[in-house]
Amino acid sequence: MTNQYDLIIVGGGPIGLACAIEAQKKNLKYLIIEKGAIVNSIFNYPLYMTFFSTAERLEIGDIPFNCLAPKPGRQEALEYYRNIHRYFNFNINLFERVLEIKKTETSIFKIATDKSLYKSKNVIIATGFYDIPILMNVKGEELPKVRHYYKEAHEYAFRNVLVVGANNSSVDAALECWRKGANVTMVIRKNEINSRVKYWVKPDIKNRIAEGSIKAYFESNITEIRENEVEIETRNGKITIDNDFVLALTGYKPDLNFLENIGIHLSNDELKIPTYNPETMETNVEGLFLAGVVCGGMQTHKWFIENSRIHANMIVDYITSK
C-alpha cells in the first residue's frame, strides 16, 4: 500500500511533534512515523529524572506547560506531550520503524517501513540520539550485568555498583543508587565532574565523594569486566574491585549509518556533523531536512528542545515558500 504526502516526519519526539504542528498550520498533508511510543526517548529516561530546563522552555505549539516544581520531571513531561497529542490530534504511526528512504528520479521520496511504503515530497529526520549507546569497547562489556541505560535504583540496592562517567545521567544514577543502599564506585575518565552537570546536583555528588560515601577514581578507565569483579586502570596503577553491576552511562549517538544511507554527507572528523543549511535545515539532499539534536552529529549536547524547536518553523516555512 502506497500513501502520498507533502511531508513525512521521522521521529515522534518533541521536535517531531513541533514540526507536525507547523505542518498542520500550513495545511500540509503530513505523517509522523515513530518507532516506539510517543516521545519515546523521554519515556526511556530514568523514572525520576528532572530536566535542566524550566517548563516553558519545553513548550511547543504555544500550549502552556504547567508545572508546580521549578524544574519538570519525566512524568510531567510525558503528561504534557500526551496532552499535546490530544489537542492537535496528530497523524502519527507509533511503533513503526523506518527502514529505508530513497529519492526517486522524479524527486519524490520513497519511505519503506517495517509495515508499509509511503511517498512524500519532503522528509524531516527528527530522530534524536538516544538509541545507540557509545560503547567502552572493553572485554566483558557484553555481560548481562552491564547496562547502558538506567531506569531506577531499586534493582541495585545493597549491591556493588560501578558507574562509568561523570555527566548528568551518571551522577544522577550514582546518587540514587547510593541513597537506596548500593555500594557505589565511579570511574571517571577526566579529572573532575563534568562542567555541564546540573548546578543543584553538582555540590551533592562532590560532597558524597569527599566524605567517602561514593568512591570515585578520576583519570581512570575500565580495562576488563568479569562476572564478579572489574579491573580498573587508575592514575595510581591497576586495581580490581568486587562488582555486581556496571552502569556504563557513557553517552549516546545518532544513527549515523542511517543518515549516510539516505545520502546525507557527514563531516570527516570525529564529530560526524551532518551537512545542512542552517537557515532552512535542508541537507545536501534537496527536500530532506534535519530537526533537533540529530543536527549536531556527535555533539549531542549542542541542541535541546528549547533551542531546536525553532527548526520546525524554519523547515515548514521554507517548504511552503517553494
Which DSSP string corresponds to 68-113? SSSS-BHHHHHHHHHHHHHHH---EE-S--EEEEEE-TTS-EEEEE
pLDDT of residue 238: 97
Give the span between the Cα atoms of 15 and 34, in whole angstroms.
12
Q: 276-300 pLDDT, tens per residue?
A: 999 999 999 999 999 999 999 999 8
pLDDT of residue 69: 87
Mean pLDDT in residue range 220-233: 98
What secondary structure letter does DSSP report for 301? T
Q: 68-101 pLDDT, tens per residue?
A: 888 999 999 999 999 999 999 999 999 999 999 9
288 bridge partner residues: 123
Q: What is the number of residues in the chain?
A: 322
pLDDT of residue 2: 58
Give the span between the Cα atoms of 20 and 81, in whole angstroms.
13
Helices 74-88 and 14-25, packing angle to 10 deg:
20
Q: 27-48 pLDDT, tens per residue?
A: 999 999 999 999 999 999 999 9
Q: Rounded to two decimals, what is the model's pTM? A: 0.92
Contacts of 42 (CB under 8 A, 6+ apart): 13, 14, 74, 77, 78, 81
Q: What percentage of the chain reaches a pLDDT higher than 70?
A: 99
Question: 124 pLDDT exceeds 60?
Answer: yes
264, amino acid identity: I
Check residue 82 and give left, alpha or beta (phi > 0: left; psi -120 to 50: alpha). alpha
Q: Kindly list the distances between the CA atom of residue 265 and the CA atoms of 10, 109, 110, 260, 269, in Å, as whole numbers in the listed order.
A: 18, 17, 19, 6, 12
Question: 1 pLDDT exceeds 80?
Answer: no
Residue 95: phi and psi, rounded to 5, are 55, 45
| C-beta neighbour count of 228 within 10 angstroms | 9
pLDDT of residue 70: 85
pLDDT of residue 258: 96
256 near 295, Cβ under 8 Å?
no
Q: What percentage of the chain reaches a pLDDT higher than 90?
A: 93
93 near 219, Cβ under 8 Å?
no
What secondary structure letter does DSSP report for 50? B
14, amino acid identity: P
Coil vs helix vs strand at 171: helix
167 near 49, Cβ under 8 Å?
no
Mean pLDDT in residue range 269-277: 96
Give the span between the Cα atoms of 5 and 69, in whole angstroms.
41
| Domains of the chain, CATH where assigned | 2-132+252-321 (3.50.50.60), 135-248 (3.50.50.60)
Question: 232 pLDDT exceeds 80?
Answer: yes
141 — pLDDT class (breaks 50, 70, 90): very high
